[in-house]
Structure 1
Amino acid sequence: MLLQAVGHPRILRRTGRSRRRASCAGRAAAGMAGAIRGTTAAMDTLDQPTVLLPGDVRMPLLGFGTWQATGEAGHAAVLAALDAGYRHVDTATMYGNEAEVGRAVRDSGLRREDVFVTTKLPPDRVGRERETIEASLRALGLDHVDLWLIHWPPSAASDSIPVWRELLAARDEGLTRAVGVSNYGTGQLDELIQATGEVPAVNQIRWGPALYDRRRHAEHRDRGVVLEGYSPFKSTDLSDPVLTRIAAAHDVSPAQVVLRWHVDHGIVVIPKSVTPERIRANADIWGFSLTAEEMHDIDALGG
């Protein structure tokens, strides 16, 4: 079975069915095929839809955010997320929880290659990039991460390109499989691309229905940069009639609709929670898909 992907990069469809709504799997596949088109996609081995990054790196479209999840509560949250089916965990040096994230990955019993781990370089580490990634790997207990991002553009614009070169060097040395940025504007992306000829694999930015910007989405797609959204619920009114109507039609929650909207757009999304019930609910979005009309209605929430 082959599906079509949204432009570039490629979206790879999961193989498994939803545990809660297995009978809907055929409808979900049809919906995904309708929403994702442009480039041929293949079956994935992670039982999750993934986007293909440069270097044949597969990044699950649904990730687990860990900002403010620290200490034993953070460890328990990541462990619960992996148990619920997440195969992508997002952390950062600034979060102060890399050790807990790494311990949870090990304690999960999952194979290292089946868990996609992202961490980020803080803006105050300009000139100390190699030292920082090595410290991150020690804290995580890993020999590499799957994705390393510049967390914020450096305060001095002239530092952005040298920092980007250091990330590329870390990738080439095998310390990370892919590199990208976070909170970058399109012009800032272009500066990196023009200076090095290397396209950031990912740009992680704040995103959600209320922030939807069709042009910005297209600008990332046209450059081959994967758009990854954080804080998907922060600016979105989950009681909005559009979301509640669509949620009722699929017998899911408005939050699940928001997450599915990201995935059906081919946008990586990283909801966060430390509540086991909410963690499980956020992971359970594979038994339904949104129609083209529903996608359009949610897009319109962005104004």
Structure 2
Amino acid sequence: MAQNTSLVFTLNDGRSIPAIGLGTWQSKPNEVRDSVKFALEHGYRHIDTALNYGNEKEVGEGIRSSGVPRENIWVTTKLDNPWHQRVAEGFQKSLHDLNIGYIDLFLIHFPCSTDPNDPTMHLPDWDFVKTWQEMQKLLDTGKVKSIGVSNFQIRHLEKLLSDPSCKIVPAVNQIELHPSNPSPKLLDYCMSKGIHCTAYSCLGGTIGSPINNSGPLLEEPAILELAKSKGKSPQQIVLMWGLKRGTSIIPKSVTPSRIEQNFGLDGWTLRPEEVASISAIKSRFKVVQDGWMPIRVFFGDDE
């Protein structure tokens, strides 16, 4: 039986991203450091953060205190919306705060160039194509190994890839993916362009969060039936579904038992018909919305 915890996906730049990572969004102060350290001590080799999360310093502390060699850890972070005109500075801030020598994957967090002086405004003379021009230059620094995007829809990718200034195809598009937001058109489009997809909110959201939505995904009969028959948690079933779709997954947790459980994906699998039964779930909801940004970035046309 495949050892899924050691599974990697090869990116279009030849580098290998670990299939299972730890998400750190919406973790409280001090929780992040401990959860990152615990995850690395228990086998995780992929940590995801972002400038926007405000926890890069703690993430770096957790990495350094884990005892795991830096070269064995994949670290992803992201450029925040108000930094699109200052890519080099935004990258340097993340590099400084993480304090881990280099960054494995640096992403444009959203295709939205927010005015740093007014969060209700989009910069009139700047968009993500210009941001990507600056992102490409970062590779020459040797301090970032791969670059990519996050929350890009098909229309965004088409605009970027068709621009003459786009010399490097994004290695990754990190997007919300779970059985109630499967986005098959977007996933297929990325695969056709050689862009790997990492699934965030892969467990369907955070219940009770004041910022994002959540749905009854883990109560779906198809998921509960499989969980019971295999002796696994509903969360493990959903995570395996994500792996079987060819996406890396970054479930977030700060609870040691759940961090361990989410990594318990070795020695079992889902058959094609079981994957199909989960994909047939009809409920639809989106965890991350775009109402807090000055422009729309989600259009609901990726299903």
- Fold agreement, TM-score > 0.5: yes
Q: How many Å apart are 1:81 and its aligned residue?
A: 1.2
Does the CA contact (< 8 Å) of 2:33 and 2:59 recur in 1? yes
Aligned equivalents of 2:169, 2:103: Cα separation in 1? 19
1:106 equivalent to 2:74? Answer no
Aligned equivalents of 1:52, 1:301: Cα separation in 2? 29
Q: Match of 1:126, SS?
A: helix
**1:60-99 aligned within 5 A:** 60-99=18-57
Bigger shift: residues 114-123 or 209-218: 209-218
Aligned equivalents of 1:290, 1:254: Cα separation in 2? 13
1:170 equivalent to 2:128? Answer no
AA aligned opposite 1:72: N
Aligned to 1:289: 269
Aligned to 1:37: none
AA aligned opposite 1:184: F
Aligned equivalents of 1:269, 1:141: Cα separation in 2? 24
**1:72-221 aligned within 5 A:** 72-155=30-113, 156=122, 158-195=126-163, 196-221=166-191
Q: Match of 2:170, SS?
A: coil
Unaligned runs of 5+ in 2: 114-121, 206-214, 284-303
Does the CA contact (< 8 Å) of 1:133 and 1:175 recur in 2? no
- 1:31-89 deviation digits (Å, cap 9, x = unpaired): x8xxxxxxxxxxxxxx6111111332110111100012243211011111112211100
AA aligned opposite 1:278: R
Aligned to 2:196: 226
CA RMSD, aligned part only? 1.7
Aligned to 1:11: none
2:236 is matched with which residue: 256, 275, 278?
A: 256
AA aligned opposite 1:136: S
Q: How many Å apart are 1:154 and its aligned residue?
A: 2.0
AA aligned opposite 1:218: D
Does the CA contact (< 8 Å) of 1:201 and 1:226 recur in 2? yes
2:253 is matched with which residue: 251, 267, 273?
A: 273
Q: Match of 1:210, SS?
A: coil
Aligned equivalents of 2:53, 2:182: Cα separation in 1? 26
Aligned equivalents of 1:217, 1:154: Cα separation in 2? 21
AA aligned opposite 1:222: S
Q: Match of 2:107, SS?
A: strand
Q: How many Å apart are 1:302 and its aligned residue?
A: 4.9
Aligned equivalents of 1:217, 1:55: Cα separation in 2? 19
Report the identity percentage: 36
Aligned equivalents of 2:131, 2:238: Cα separation in 1? 34
2:221 is matched with which residue: 241, 245, 251?
A: 241
TM-score scaled by structure 2? Answer: 0.82
TM-score scaled by structure 1? Answer: 0.82
Aligned equivalents of 1:59, 1:48: Cα separation in 2? 10
Does the CA contact (< 8 Å) of 1:77 and 1:275 recur in 2? yes
Q: How many Å apart are 1:213 and its aligned residue?
A: 3.0
Aligned equivalents of 1:192, 1:236: Cα separation in 2? 35
Q: Match of 2:6, SS?
A: coil
**More helix by proportion, 1 or 2?**
1
Q: How many Å apart are 1:174 and its aligned residue?
A: 1.4
Q: How many Å apart are 1:193 and its aligned residue?
A: 1.4
Q: How many Å apart are 1:139 and its aligned residue?
A: 0.8
- 1:234-288 deviation digits (Å, cap 9, x = unpaired): 2452121100111122110110000011111111111101111111101111221
Report the number of matched residues.
261
AA aligned opposite 1:105: I
